[in-house]
Structures are given as C-alpha cells and as structure tokens.
Structure 1
Amino acid sequence: MLRKKGSLVLCGAFLFITWNAVLVLLLRGRPSPGAEQRGVAEGPAGDVVADVLRMADAFEAELGRQKEILLQIKSRRSPLDPSGGGGAGGGAEAAFAPRPPVIPILVIACNRVTVRRCLDKLLRLRPSEELHPIVVSQDCGHAETAEVIRSYGGAVTHLRQPDLSDVAVAPQHRKFQGYYKISRHYRWALNQVFRTLGHAAAVIVEDDLEVAPDFFEYFRALLPVLQSDRSLWCVSAWNDNGRDGLVDPGRPDLLYRTDFFPGLGWMLLRELWEELEPKWPAAFWDDWMRQPEQRRERACVRPEISRTLTFGRQGVSLGQFYDKFLRHTKLNADFVPFSTLDLSYLREDSYRRSFQTAVYATAAAVSYEDLVQGRLQGAGPFRLQYSSRDAFKMLAKNLGVMDDLKSGVPRTGYRGVVSFFYKGRRVYLAPPPGWSQYDPSWS
C-alpha cells in the first residue's frame, strides 16, 4: 500500500512539473505583438505580455524549487529501512511510513494527593511524550490534589470534571453516593479522551496505581492484538490472583485470556466506548462491565505477573479486599520486550485449543488432600476439579485465591478455569470436561 501511494504521488508530481514546464516554454517562446517592427511592446497589450513573462519566470523558479524537494524526498532514508536509499523500504515510501499509534494514559483522580506517586512513575517510565500523553481527569474539586497535578505543568494535561453535585439516588443507595460519582466521572473522562481529544485507544489507570517498568511496552505490543481480534474487548495489566506465591516468578512474559474483566490498568478502543457509552450505568460500572449483556462472550488479556500495583487502601470501597489480597500483589520488576515476541498464541481459536489441552489432557487430575499435603508426583501441571458454586468457593478460599464470582465468572477465569501457582507448581482449578457456559446465578 505504501509503495502504491508513493508511486501515485511521484506520477502526479511528474505530470505537474511537465505541464508547468510546457507552459513556461510556450510563454517564453511566444513573440510580443509587433515586436519585430517596434523592438518593444507598447500599450496595454505590451503590459499584459510583460506580466505573463514575469509570471513565467516565477513559475520557472518555483519548478526548480519543487524539483529540489522531490529529489530530497526520493533520496530520503526510510524509517522502515535503516540502510536508507533504495530498496523496498526506500524512496518516496519513507514519506508515507505509518505513524506509530498514540496511546494516551487517562489517570482518574479525585482527592488523593498521593497521585504524585502514580504520576512520577508514569513520567519516569514513559518512552515518549508524543506517543503517550498523560491526561489527568480530576473529580471532587479537591484543592490540594489539584495543586499536585498543576505542579507538573505541561508534562500532563489536567482536566476537571465540571459537575460536582450529588447524584440523585434512592434513599437506600445514599451510602453508595461515591460509586455514582465515580461512574459519572468515568463517563465524562472517557468522552473527553475519545470524543473531544479524538484518540483511538486509551489506557485507564486510577490515581492509586503504580506501574511496572514494562507497562508502556506491554500495552504498545498488545494494541495490535486487541485491534485485530474481535473476541477481545480489553487488555488489562492486572492479575486478580497475582500475589507472590500464586504466580510463576520465572514467567513474566506469560499472558492469558480471561473472561473476567480485571480493570486496574486497562486498555480499550474507541469502538468499544461508542458501544458502551449510550448505556453506561449510573453506578458500579466495573461490575456492570462483568455482566453477560456487556461482555458478550468477549475476553480480556491479562498477565501472569501484574504490571500495576495498587497502594490506595482508602477509597469508596473502604479497603475491601485490600488487606487480604491487593496489598500482596507482586509487581513485575523485569522488562519484557513484548513487541519482539510472537503473541499470535493469544488468538481465540489457537488459545482455546492449547489451553484446553493443557488443562484436560496434560494436567494430571488430583484431589484437594493430595495437593495441600504435597502428595504429588512430578512437576505438574495439575488439575483440581470443582462441580458446584460452593465447591469452587471452598477450594478457592482454602487455596488462597479469590473466591468471589461476578455474573458466574471467577476472577481470572477462562472457560471456568482459574490458573495459579501453588507451592511451586501450576494448578488449574477447573470445571468438569465439557464445560459450555457460565451460570450467572453463581454470584
């Protein structure tokens, strides 16, 4: 496509130069009326001819400049061809090399002055200001937090959610006022990013998240995967069961598909926002995202080892899950060059086949007692089966993984399977073979 565009431009430029050159030659070769008899043109007609000749001289000079520009374009080194000059990547195609995608980071802020910790890490790790503009959207009108954000000057864009009024709610929901305001803020902020600023994709983080060294690399490499696979609807930096001891420390490169919407540092496309925005909920937006009507059997990509870490115990959830789970999440410390890896294994068909083979053919079936008492043969992986909601919750709780379900989907689950490490071995907490769908009553 680039070669075709370059050829069309060169042909057009050639025709333009040829036409103007012919015009110049015709004008300069045309004698003035009566010039042979009088030597010079006189009167209005002579003035017109003189003006035309002056225009021809100007055209000729301009054509020379255009020729120089075209020669420079022709010899310009292509960013797709480091050797420069000729070859498949050289020539005019270089001028039409696709621009790298811009992926803004939308920071959702309110009244935490510790947003500084989040922003400092983002700015220190950001590989490019142009490719990753940081947009901080602040709700709450908290002056001290606003001053912290202002202190970064032009390094970030500071937006303020204009509607700070209370949301009209039913009396029994007054204690959830904060959740209503958060949902309103998300809607406003995402409209700013996608509709006002016109971005095609965005990564959302909240003001209490710290990011890993390869946070930007992770999302840049997975953007093409998200764009090309309609069975995916987000990429998340978070593993709900990412506590130290539940993840394989030797596989920071390992990625999964999950049917559970993780959040906590996630990327979406503008097309998804255009789908969700008209029906965006008044409150509890994240659990709303986990309903089958929104998920529509689509999955997210999530890592083995989290690329975000939450440090905000205080919030509208009053520390729910924080002390028991979130504070112990392992943040990846190694840079994984995801953009150099083959991520095609994440495509739906190939991933489903290989995952089901690993769970139901490769992994040895074991009992809970054998697992916890260490009576296992080999290095694994192992499959621990559950057949009911209560069985899942009991096993998950006893093994230290999160036991709650949303619309029937367990955290990190893919086709009902929860993958985690236990005492140095891979374990799949899995439904019986032949699983077909989630039961929303399992919540």
Structure 2
Amino acid sequence: MIRKRSSLILCGTFLFITWNAILVLLLWSRPPPSQPGELAGDQGEAVVQPTSDVVADVLRMVDTFEVELERQKKILLQILSQRSLWEPSNRNRPKVVSRPPVIPILVIACNRVTVRRCLDKLLEHRPSAELHPIIVSQDCGHAETAEVIRSYGSKVTHLKQPDLSDIAVRPEHKKFQGYYKISRHYHWALNQVFKTLSYSSVVVVEDDLEVAPDFFEYFRAMHPLLKSDPSLWCASAWNDNGRDGYVDPGKADLLYRTDFFPGLGWMLLSELWEELEPKWPASFWDDWMRQPEQRRNRACIRPEISRTLTFGRQGVSLGQFYDKYLKYIKLNSEFVPFTKLDLSYLKEETYRVNFEKEVYSAPVVTYEDVKQGQLKGLGPFRLQYSSKDSFKVMAKHLGIMEDLKSGVPRAGYRGVVSFISKGRRIYLAPPPGWTQYDPTWS
C-alpha cells in the first residue's frame, strides 16, 4: 500500500511539472497584449512576448524555461519533504495479529446414552466455543443416543453417519463386524471434518471419555509443536500406564515423546489425514496406525498424567483391559498452563539426547529389588530387558501393560517404558545401543 501511494505521488508530481512546462509554451504562443509589458497569466507573472528576432526569442525562451524548471524543482522538493506526513508511520500502522487456530473436537458416538457425561465435561472445560467447536458424529442410528445429542441444541454439531449397512467380511471375521464399522465411521467422520468442513486440525475423542480441566489447554500447546516438527505425527491425552501409583503426582506438567500410538483423545493435522485417508484400513484402525508403514519413525506426545479417562466398559472390545488397567487410570485435576511453558525440550534431537542420557546413566537394578521395594536412593533406576519374553514377564509382574504392537511397547520411546513403582522412577529399557524395534515382538 505504501509503495503504491509513493508511486501515485511521483506520478502526480511528474504531471504537475509537465503541465507547467506546457503552460510556458502556450504562453509563448499567445498573441501579445494591447499594452506592451502588461502582466499576463493567472498568477500575475511577467511573460516575455515574442519579437521579430527569432534567435533572440529562442534564447530568451530557453532562459525562461530554465527559470521555470528551477521553480518546479523547488516545488517538487517541497512535495517530497512532506511525503512522510502523507504516509502512516510504522509506529502508527496497525499491527497484523495472527488469529489463534480453530481446533474442533470430534466426538465419535454410537449407542451410548452416557455420551452426555463426555459432552458435559467438554462443555464445562471448553474455553471458547469459537476456537473449539464440538462435532458429534454418530453411527449406529441409536434413537436414544441421538435424542441425548439433540438436547444440546446449537452447543454441538450433530452429524449422522449415513451408511449403517453391514459390511461383507471373511467368515472368521464375522465376530469383528463392529471393528469394521468403527473403521468405516472414523473414515467418514474425519473426511467430514477435513474435507467438508475444511478444518486444518482436530482432536478426536470417543463417547466414553471424560476430559481433564486442562484438556483444551494441553492441545492448544500441542498444535504448534505438530505444525513445526515433522518427526511428530500426533499428540495424545493418554498414558497407557497412567494408573494411580504408576505416575508422579508432582509432575502434572511432564510430557514425553512416545513411539506408541496411544489414541484415546488425540490430535492430528489435515496433512496427516491427506496421507492416511487413501489407504485407511477396513478394520482395526488403531493397530493399523501402530504399524511401521504408517508410523514411519514418527512419534506422538503423551503426558505423564492422562488428560482423559475412559468410563466405557462395554463396547466392541468387550471390556478388554478395562477391569485390570483402564478404570484405574488417574485423570489429571491440576490445571497446567501448557501454552505458557517452554516445550522446546520435546524437539526430537534435544529430547532423544537428554532422555537417553538420563536412562542409561541411571544405575541398573534387578527385578527382585524393584518388586520388593528394596531400592536405595531416590532414583531413577534402570531395569534392563533383553528379549520379548523378559519384557513381558517383568511388565506383567510390575503392573504395567505388557502387550506390544509391531514390537513397540505401550508408552515406549526407543524401547524404554517409564513408570513409577513404589515411589521410584523406573526405566524398563533395552540394553545400550538400541537401534530399532523388532516387528515380530507382538
């Protein structure tokens, strides 16, 4: 805008000078007045009239033209000296304020009327309806659940998955029909968010999740990390080993990188959906996400203390892990101002170096010492495993989740699982020099 205004000023100045030059020539061509020496022109200036001596007239004309040009030059300099007054200064120019990102919450629902508990907590803790629209995508066509969702009126957007038909599956997968429908629903719902509604990010929760008071604050802080770090592909509110007694209650602000896709309240960007959507699986979408072909050595961010809690024992998984692990997950109650914290320690190179240094400088202890609570000192301590079986045995007896997906332990980073046991920080870790996961460890 300033450059355009300067061009207009210079153009106007040029036209002004040109017009005055033409005026001089026109005055020379005018017939002489009745009284020689009479003043002529609108400004009362004396104009020299032509005579019969052509050479003398030309010379006098040149002199007059030079005088006029000098006068116009002075006018031009005055105009340029005042230009700064015509243009707004940088100090007074309005600052360009970037708008905060809109991060919608996508609630995947089916036939649980208890979706009300999920929605009530989301609405209770939501800091802004404009920045966090809530979209409920419902499958199954369950009338009672639909009525609960409708009761929220304009507070939520209610989408209905149109295809409720059964899916043709192999005979041995007939009992897994529900997993096929869930995968189809996720595909449709994420397409609605990214392609129909054109959002650039989303946080996905299911209808059996309750969120913590700083759930929204956490994901607002995660958004710039995902945007700036290509080694990250998601952020999750969930710690698979986040049971009470297995996390440090004084470390509510502690975050980790993890190679395991946690789900259960997770954020992704539209760029990731563009990558995943063409090859989205027909079933078991979460385990598919944990395969190396999808993960591509990228990590997720996860908290020490979970920002979601599942209350849905009944579902297609028939309560798998719920009674033993999930219902004991500790939900964070302390509000952490994540958007005001320095989270640069989560950048890939910085995090890896610092994490490995802490893990492998910790003293090695035995399983018996950990199990019996006979550790000396405050910790942390390192407990080493060397095979899939040794990992599973120690994890099972220490009370953390023992299953692996494509060789990656739950909540693990570079093979290391961090947890609290009897008040001490334990790193269940592979030997030094770890390089990669073994997908056969499943």
> TM-score normalised by the shorter chain: which range applies?
0.7 to 0.9
Deviations 1:291-342 (A, max 9, x none): 0110011000000000000000000000000010000000000000001110
2:377 is the counterpart of 1:375: no
Q: Map 1:350-429 to 2 at 5 A.
A: 350-361=350-361, 363-429=362-428
SS at match of 2:420: strand
SS at match of 1:267: strand
Query: Matches of 1:327 and 1:255 in 2, distance apart?
Result: 22
Letter aligned with residue 258 of structure 1: T
Query: Matches of 1:115 and 1:428 in 2, distance apart?
Result: 37
**Equivalent residue for 1:318?**
318
2:115 is the counterpart of 1:123: no
Letter aligned with residue 92 of structure 1: P
SS at match of 1:92: coil
Query: Matches of 2:4 and 2:143 in 1, distance apart?
Result: 57
**Equivalent residue for 2:159?**
159
**Equivalent residue for 1:434?**
433
Q: Map 1:197-346 to 2 at 5 A.
A: 197-346=197-346
Query: Matches of 1:101 and 1:416 in 2, distance apart?
Result: 34
Query: Matches of 1:291 and 1:301 in 2, distance apart?
Result: 17
Q: Map 1:28-47 to 2 at 5 A.
A: none
Deviations 1:345-385 (A, max 9, x none): 00010100000000001x11000111222222210000000
Cα distance, 1:410 vs structure 2: 0.3
Query: Matches of 2:8 and 2:195 in 1, distance apart?
Result: 39
**Equivalent residue for 2:70?**
none
Letter aligned with residue 126 of structure 2: R
Cα distance, 1:92 vs structure 2: 2.2
SS at match of 2:94: helix
Query: Matches of 1:273 and 1:203 in 2, distance apart?
Result: 12
Cα distance, 1:13 vs structure 2: 6.1
Query: Matches of 2:10 and 2:221 in 1, distance apart?
Result: 45
SS at match of 1:172: helix
Letter aligned with residue 94 of structure 2: A
Alpha-carbon distance change, 13 to 105 in structure 1, aligned in 2, over 3 angstroms: farther
Cα distance, 1:74 vs structure 2: 6.8
SS at match of 2:252: coil
Query: Matches of 2:392 and 2:9 in 1, distance apart?
Result: 76
**Equivalent residue for 1:133?**
133
Query: Matches of 2:155 and 2:3 in 1, distance apart?
Result: 43
**Equivalent residue for 1:48?**
none
Deviations 1:7-65 (A, max 9, x none): xx344467679999x99xxxxxxxxxxxxxxxxxxxxxxxxxxxxxxxxxxxxxxxxxx
Letter aligned with residue 322 of structure 2: Y
Query: Matches of 1:74 and 1:188 in 2, distance apart?
Result: 50
SS at match of 1:300: strand
5+ long unaligned stretches in structure 2: 16-84
SS at match of 2:244: coil
SS at match of 2:113: coil
8 Å contact 1:118–1:209 — kept in the other structure? yes
Letter aligned with residue 346 of structure 2: L
Query: Matches of 1:429 and 1:123 in 2, distance apart?
Result: 39
Letter aligned with residue 424 of structure 1: G
TM-score normalised over the length of structure 2? 0.81
Q: Map 1:83-94 to 2 at 5 A.
A: 87=91, 91-93=93-95
8 Å contact 1:305–1:330 — kept in the other structure? yes
Alpha-carbon distance change, 374 to 296 in structure 1, aligned in 2, over 3 angstroms: same
Query: Matches of 1:17 and 1:193 in 2, distance apart?
Result: 49
8 Å contact 1:184–1:282 — kept in the other structure? yes
Deviations 1:193-220 (A, max 9, x none): 0011111110000000000000000000
8 Å contact 1:74–1:92 — kept in the other structure? no
Letter aligned with residue 179 of structure 1: Y
Runs of 4+ aligned residues of structure 1 deviating over 3 Å after TM superposition are 9-20
**Equivalent residue for 1:3?**
none
Cα distance, 1:440 vs structure 2: 0.7
**Equivalent residue for 1:5?**
none
Letter aligned with residue 329 of structure 1: I
RMSD of aligned C-alpha atoms? 2.0
Query: Matches of 1:74 and 1:327 in 2, distance apart?
Result: 62
Letter aligned with residue 432 of structure 1: P
Query: Matches of 2:94 and 2:406 in 1, distance apart?
Result: 54
TM-score normalised over the length of structure 1? 0.81
Deviations 1:394-419 (A, max 9, x none): 00000000000000000000000000
Deviations 1:269-299 (A, max 9, x none): 1000000000000000000000011001100
Letter aligned with residue 434 of structure 1: G
Larger Rg: 2
Query: Matches of 1:12 and 1:163 in 2, distance apart?
Result: 56
Query: Matches of 2:138 and 2:181 in 1, distance apart?
Result: 12
SS at match of 1:91: coil
Cα distance, 1:222 vs structure 2: 1.0
Query: Matches of 1:286 and 1:113 in 2, distance apart?
Result: 24
Query: Matches of 1:219 and 1:330 in 2, distance apart?
Result: 18
Query: Matches of 2:228 and 2:378 in 1, distance apart?
Result: 36
